[in-house]
Amino acid sequence: MRDVQVFTAGCSYCDEAVAAVKQVACSNCNVRVRDMHDPAVAAEAKKFGISGVPAVVIDGKLADCCAAGGIDLDVLRTLGLGSA
- On the 0-12 / 13-18 / 19+ scale of CB atoms within 10 A, 5 is buried
In a domain, 84, yes or no: no
Angle at 74 between CA 18 and CA 2, to 5 degrees: 60
For the chain, what is the domain count?
1
The pLDDT value recorded for residue 84 is 67
Averaged confidence pLDDT in the chain: 92
Which structural domain, as residue segments, surrounds residue 18? Answer: 2-78
User: Is 83 a domain residue?
Assistant: no
Q: Is the pLDDT of residue 14 over 70?
A: yes
User: Residue 39 contacts by C-beta under 8 Å, 6 or more apart in sequence?
Assistant: none
4 or 79, greater pLDDT: 4
Q: Give the pLDDT of residue 79.
A: 87
Task: Give the per-residue pLDDT at 66.
Answer: 81
The CATH number given to whatever domain includes residue 65 is: 3.40.30.10
26-54 pLDDT per residue, tens = 999 999 999 999 999 999 999 999 999 99
